[in-house]
Structure 1
Amino acid sequence: MHIQAHRKNALTIAIGIASALSNAAWSQANSNMALEEVMVTAELRSENLQDVPVAVTAFTADEIVNRGIETTADFLSLTPNVTFDDSFTVGNSFVAVRGVTQINNADSPVAIVIDGVPQNNQKQFKMELYDIERIEVLKGPQGALYGRNAIGGAVNIVTKAPTNELEGYLTAGAGNGGLQKFQGAVSGPIIKDELLFRIAGSYRESDGLIDNTYLGTEVDFLESYDLRARLQWLPTQDLSFDFRVATSDLKGGAVYDAAFIDGVEPDNTNKQRSPITDILGESERTIDEFTVKVDYTIDAGTFTYIGGYTDIAEDYYGDLDFCNPVDCPQGFFGFGQVDQSQDLSVELLSNEFRFTSSSDQRFRYTAGLFFIDTERSLATVATLTQAGNFPIVQSLEDNDNSAWAAFAQADYDLTDELELTVSIRYDEDEREQTDASTGTSRDASYDEWQPKATLTWTPFEDQLFYATYARGFRSGGFNGIGGREFLPEIVDNFEIGYKSTWMQDRLMVNAAAYMAESSDFQFFYVDFNAGGAQVIDNLEEVSLRGIELELKFIATEQLSFYASGGFQDSDIESFAADLGVPAERGNRSPRTTDYTINVGGLFETALTPSLDGFARVDYEIRGDRYWHTDNVAVMDPVSLLGARFGITANQWSISAWGRNLTNEFFYEDFTAQTFSGLPSDIGFATRPRSYGLDLRYAF
């Protein structure tokens, strides 16, 4: 005990000396040379980012503009141990957080929340980001507060609120591939101090950059329309109403995977191929939303109600054999050319009630109830086009999902230096699947307790240590008509973390290390040997572990740097004997990326008394990626270089930008024929080098 006490005292003294020396060394620094204070709502109350005992990567409104963050992929690629990839349709994507992966036709591993309203379908994750105030990416299970979809983490997106003064902005841009884009917003009072509005919109159009060598045209064309309106009513000082209406229409190319008809080296999936389909695939996704948030504050805290309604529709049409009559005369298994189409319709209605106590008490708490009802319809068709469009797959399923949850979190200051946080959530999920052609149905219920406990130690104002245990839960469900049930996934996560600022708030150093065990790890594959089924299956036990580091440093008034890195490993420890695909114990779990590294710098300087110039360079490295459970197909590491240069004045700016400037080639999705039953491997390629020019005017 004496040895442990001495070690604790020695650590405390060492940290204190280091902190004091660094502050003394920089005490004469310019007061403006400090990192921006970032306030987040990661734990459903407003707190300084550095005071939150959670691994959080946050992006402020200024960072979002300066880094050119315009889509989901832009900020997730800057987050350690997180990857985001396009796949198959304009609304489809794969996100992986600390080894836990997104899968088709099931719940995301990440809870996505916009202005407090959960986005409960994976098709909502891929979005245009415009008029955004803040983005927070929380890593590790966050189910206690965010629910069953937060098994890997949570993404909290806050849009800009209406203002009491008239303001707005307009941006316009153009780039290679026929890119045209526009964004804008206007905000102000209808009735001063009482009724405020904000309207924002975005438009993007591109001819595409990926060539189909058989059709002689680009296949990744895109057109998107997005519009959002917010109305804030403040009838009294203690009562507020926030209404939000949003619509999104996204059209573009789909099903343009390249077929490896001449084979592929099994240990390298960076080998370049061009799409050679004889059908120009296309898809469309529309999302309409209405939400309302009500806050009523009393001395003890704030009552909050959040309601949301969402209507999602996506359809696509494209090639199924990923080839053409010239290169593949026999087509799909010798039956000629085959096409595919799918229509998806989803309606979601959610309600949340919670109470959050005042933040100025030694004991603080949050408690609430959550309800959601989901109706989902999916029609899938595949036909032999050279046989009079003879159908080989016809499936129409309806899925009804009703779920509720109760949650609570309590924070207690044990001492001035120690804080204990304990939270719990209970989720119950009832699912029913109906074969619309026969009327037959099946149902199942899934439930789970999700506890979390965190001990936070702050020996000094700018130093924080934490240790956490948390459980995450992703519900089970049914595969397509006739497919078997897949089990819910549970992750138990143990984590330690450190947050600090140094040199008079000029240097931020944050770190985290975790070990997690996933039971019934969910993963996705396509099995054309089973009638083209899209299959979700389970691995019985998977271990996940990793470390993360983030640094920000203001070197001079003109120069600042950032760096972040995530290193992770996973092991398949056990799996069922009847698993439908090959696997080996000790292999990495599907879609695991060994490491992600980001480094970059920003240089700013005054050009004239009224003009400033800036130059930003960002460099990203993604390590080996293991696509499947057999670990045969592996993507080699890739390096991506981006840059942004510009001039800013009081109200306007002009900037030139470039992404993937070294024109690296790799696949964002890859499926070996062993996992699909197709005649060849297929890969969904990333876009090549892109560049353009942006103009922005604010008033």
Structure 2
Amino acid sequence: MTTKIRDRLLVGTILSAVAFTTPVVAQTAVAAQTVDAEAQPGDIVVTAQRRSERLQGVPIQIQALTSATIQNAGIRTSGEALSLTPNASFDQGNTYKSTFITMRGLTQINNADPPVAFVIDGVPQTDQTQLNVNLFDIERIEILKGPQGALYGRNASGGAINIVTKLPGNQLGGFANGQYSNGDGIIGSAGLSGPLIDDKLLFSVDGSYNHFGGLVRNSFRGDHSDFIDHDWTLRGRLIAKPTDTLTIDLHGEYGKYQASSNYYSAVFSGNPNDFVDPQFNLPGSASGRNVNVSAKIDLDLGFATMTSITGHTDLTQVNRADLDYRNPVQSPSGIFGLGFQAGQGQDLKLKTTSQEFRLVSNGHERFRWLGGVYYLHTDRDFRTRAFVDLNSDPAQIDTPALLFANKQESNKNNAYAAFAQADFDILPVLTLTGGLRYDEDHRNQNDLIGNIQRKKTYDHVQPKVTLTYKPSSDMLFYATFGTGFRSGGFNAPTVPIPDFRAETLQNYEAGFKAQFLDRKVTFNGAYYFENVKNYQYFYVEASSASQVIDNIDKVHIQGIELELSARPVTGLEITGAIGTTLSRIKDSATASDIGNRTPRTVPFSSNLSAQYSVPISDRVNGLARLDWQHFGKKYWGADNVDIQTPYDLVNLRAGVEFGNFGIFGFTKNLLNDKYYSEYIPTKYSGLDVALGYHGRPRTYGVEGRIKF
């Protein structure tokens, strides 16, 4: 399809869908417990700053996805939610659970901390494998852009993602959703919640299941390389309210999965816009399980609320895959022309325990404050092997004579933090906010093969200051200075670069939020400038099966974000947003990279969401929705040689609701645009061939849901 024809089809699709067009930021009723006096029915209330506030009254650029938006847009994963946010992307690559979050130019790297704080019901998710979450029974997702270190601490340089699940209530009820799509895709979820003792003891139980036959064909094996055999989760929750001032909230979750892994295509042309099928001979697979438990205790002391949040995670993953990503028939010379094929495998065991104590002042007085302390302990055992592949059997990894790389490491990390934030209304229309956080990480790595220990401590003070001017309840201007910190750490044993430095950031930002015409039109925007020191990035050294993290000495990033939403007529809501990320490498050990854009940068992105809801009869409502995401050029490496051309993802969804039952048809990636969600040039792959990881092709199907 030519660009001209594709663009005409895209515009035509949009114009026809606008006739049925909710903004991504849908509205929800104000929570009863909100303390923001300016909130009105229909406003979104968020807890981004650890207290309930009206979204439009928070001096942060926030994308808030309510339960209605998540349901109506057919959002099933945290990745799909983040992709609706300009200046942010959620790519997949490497193993089944590996993800690459990029926000405002700061990007995820393998085997290290993410660039954003990722929190579910107050519990931080600290590992790369924990970020691709299956969403069901979700109350709200808050995506905060810009450094949030003062409140969210380490790894919040790019922003924070706050996921809030639904609370059970006093009414017994439940839900069930089922979806079938091409590629033999089956997704289901169901749940039940209600009271065991009215107002005193509430419960919820729910679960999800995912199966996918695959759509990315392996041209050598003849099967599909992107399959999901199973991925299921069971979750339980118990809320006890023994007194009017005490609430105890207990969570438990268990999940297992078995799916495809590392389904890279060997791109012999070295062109990131040459989309070829995978052709490897050794099948890739990943299997794992996870256990998550948490306890949240809220005690109202009158003048303030004390909160304790305890979380524990125990997860494992076993990964097996091809290493040369070719086959002995079409590439008999093998890896590096050495005459043999190669395979790889990684075994991961991760345990984390976290504890936070927080005290937040009650009410909405002239002076508001909060403070707290935080602790995180991490045990991470990781084994990596590379082996000579004689027969395409992943079990060869356990044959010592075939191994040519064998690394096994044990990592322990103790992280400590203390934080505080205060708001003071200098005038009724002018507020000064100050925040401060101190983070300290103690890292310890033990090379179990070479019996070598390494220890290092990283620490940083993160201040934040914001001045907010509210000339009216519907208009806000702010200027802010904030900082970010991503801890340094150790690469795997025997890697030529033994460790990487901590990444720090200073952010200068000015923005506004405004609503007009009885809050039917919302217009928000911001300009930001980031000064980043020791920018962290990632590459592979395939000959030793090493994944390497390194630093770029100094980077400048600046950009704008604009969002406009409107409700021009009853039932019709439209949102459009754009974001720019203009990064420049200012200082680097690789002199030729100076002046270039940073890896994985997308300088321009935008989206359009439109939804139309109309009553068809007294008992039947119709719903139609369009989501269009545009991704501009993508610069894969710091040398800026490999650039992926722009692409568009268009999703359509339409259906009817009969009371508590609904049935919908949908398509995602309507135009079947091809793109790589990860592309690794030879310079950064360590192989003699570039690698590309296919994005999801066009999918379509039907979905039914019921509430009772």
TM-score tier, shorter chain, comes to over 0.9
Match in the other structure for 1:517: 531
Match in the other structure for 2:90: 84
Aligned counterparts, 1:648-667, within 5 A: 648-667=657-676
Q: Do structure 1's residue 458 and structure 2's residue 470 form an aligned pair?
A: yes
The alignment partner of 1:211 has SS state of coil
Distance 1:542 1:482 in 2: 28
Aligned counterparts, 1:542-581, within 5 A: 542-576=555-589
TM-superposed CA distance for 1:438, in Å, is 3.3
Distance 1:130 1:596 in 2: 27
Distance 2:618 2:374 in 1: 54
Match in the other structure for 2:149: 143
| Structure 2 counterpart of 1:503, from 517, 523, 528 | 517
Aligned counterparts, 1:413-452, within 5 A: 413-452=425-464
Which amino acid in structure 1 is aligned with residue 103 of structure 2?
V
| Structure 2 counterpart of 1:607, from 595, 610, 616 | 616
| Structure 2 counterpart of 1:170, from 168, 176, 186 | 176
Distance 1:418 1:666 in 2: 47
Distance 2:341 2:316 in 1: 27
Distance 1:39 1:248 in 2: 31
Cα pair 1:91 1:285 within 8 Å, conserved: no
TM-superposed CA distance for 1:626, in Å, is 0.3
Cα pair 1:335 1:384 within 8 Å, conserved: no
The alignment partner of 1:212 has SS state of coil
Cα pair 1:241 1:293 within 8 Å, conserved: yes
Match in the other structure for 1:74: 80
Distance 2:162 2:597 in 1: 29
Deviations 1:457-507 (A, max 9, x none): 001110000100000000000000023110000010000110111111111
The alignment partner of 1:675 has SS state of helix
Distance 1:285 1:502 in 2: 50
Match in the other structure for 1:249: 256
Cα pair 1:175 1:691 within 8 Å, conserved: yes
Match in the other structure for 2:62: 56
Distance 2:58 2:541 in 1: 44
Distance 1:424 1:542 in 2: 24
Match in the other structure for 1:260: 267
Aligned residue pairs: how many?
A: 658
Deviations 1:242-295 (A, max 9, x none): 00001222321111100023x233xxx122100000011100232211100000
Aligned counterparts, 1:355-504, within 5 A: 355-386=359-390, 390-483=402-495, 484-504=498-518
The alignment partner of 1:145 has SS state of helix
Cα pair 2:676 2:695 within 8 Å, conserved: yes
Which amino acid in structure 2 is aligned with residue 636 of structure 1?
T
Aligned counterparts, 1:615-626, within 5 A: 615-626=624-635
Match in the other structure for 1:156: 162
Which amino acid in structure 2 is aligned with residue 482 of structure 1?
T
Q: Do structure 1's residue 593 and structure 2's residue 620 form an aligned pair?
A: no
Which amino acid in structure 2 is aligned with residue 284 of structure 1?
S
Match in the other structure for 2:546: 533
| Structure 2 counterpart of 1:632, from 633, 641, 650 | 641
Match in the other structure for 1:690: 699
Distance 1:647 1:434 in 2: 58
Distance 1:82 1:471 in 2: 19
Deviations 1:137-170 (A, max 9, x none): 0011101100101011000000011211101111
Distance 1:592 1:583 in 2: 18
Which amino acid in structure 2 is aligned with residue 504 of structure 1?
D
Aligned counterparts, 1:641-680, within 5 A: 641-680=650-689
Cα pair 2:96 2:262 within 8 Å, conserved: no
Which amino acid in structure 2 is aligned with residue 270 of structure 1?
N
Q: Do structure 1's residue 294 and structure 2's residue 303 form an aligned pair?
A: no
Cα pair distance change 1:303/1:605, threshold 3 Å? same
TM-score (norm 2): 0.92
Match in the other structure for 1:26: none
Match in the other structure for 2:200: 194
TM-score (norm 1): 0.93
Cα pair distance change 1:327/1:583, threshold 3 Å? farther
The alignment partner of 1:50 has SS state of helix
Which amino acid in structure 2 is aligned with residue 55 of structure 1?
Q
TM-superposed CA distance for 1:403, in Å, is 0.8
| Structure 2 counterpart of 1:36, from 14, 31, 42 | 42
Distance 1:335 1:527 in 2: 19
Cα pair 1:473 1:489 within 8 Å, conserved: yes
TM-superposed CA distance for 1:35, in Å, is 9.0
Which amino acid in structure 1 is aligned with residue 327 of structure 2?
N
Distance 1:477 1:442 in 2: 10
Cα pair distance change 1:354/1:173, threshold 3 Å? same
Cα pair 1:90 1:250 within 8 Å, conserved: no
Distance 1:360 1:49 in 2: 15
Match in the other structure for 2:242: 235
Cα pair distance change 1:376/1:601, threshold 3 Å? same
Cα pair 1:271 1:666 within 8 Å, conserved: no
Distance 2:157 2:258 in 1: 30
Deviations 1:156-186 (A, max 9, x none): 0000112111011111111100011111111
| Structure 1 counterpart of 2:102, from 88, 96, 107 | 96
Distance 1:110 1:271 in 2: 31
Match in the other structure for 1:27: none
Cα pair 1:90 1:285 within 8 Å, conserved: no
TM-superposed CA distance for 1:528, in Å, is 2.5
TM-superposed CA distance for 1:676, in Å, is 1.8
Which amino acid in structure 1 is aligned with residue 302 of structure 2?
D
Distance 1:601 1:446 in 2: 46
Cα pair 2:270 2:689 within 8 Å, conserved: no
The alignment partner of 1:219 has SS state of coil
The alignment partner of 2:610 has SS state of strand
TM-superposed CA distance for 1:583, in Å, is 4.5
Which amino acid in structure 1 is aligned with residue 551 of structure 2?
N
Distance 1:509 1:279 in 2: 52
Distance 1:180 1:91 in 2: 19
Cα pair 1:35 1:505 within 8 Å, conserved: no
Match in the other structure for 2:11: none
The alignment partner of 1:682 has SS state of strand
Q: Do structure 1's residue 329 and structure 2's residue 332 form an aligned pair?
A: yes
Q: Do structure 1's residue 306 and structure 2's residue 313 form an aligned pair?
A: no
Cα pair distance change 1:35/1:239, threshold 3 Å? closer
The alignment partner of 1:123 has SS state of helix
Which amino acid in structure 2 is aligned with residue 527 of structure 1?
E
Cα pair 1:525 1:675 within 8 Å, conserved: yes
Cα pair 1:35 1:507 within 8 Å, conserved: no
Distance 2:644 2:258 in 1: 29
Distance 1:331 1:482 in 2: 25
Which amino acid in structure 2 is aligned with residue 361 of structure 1?
E
Q: Percent identity among equivalent residues?
A: 40
Cα pair distance change 1:35/1:691, threshold 3 Å? farther
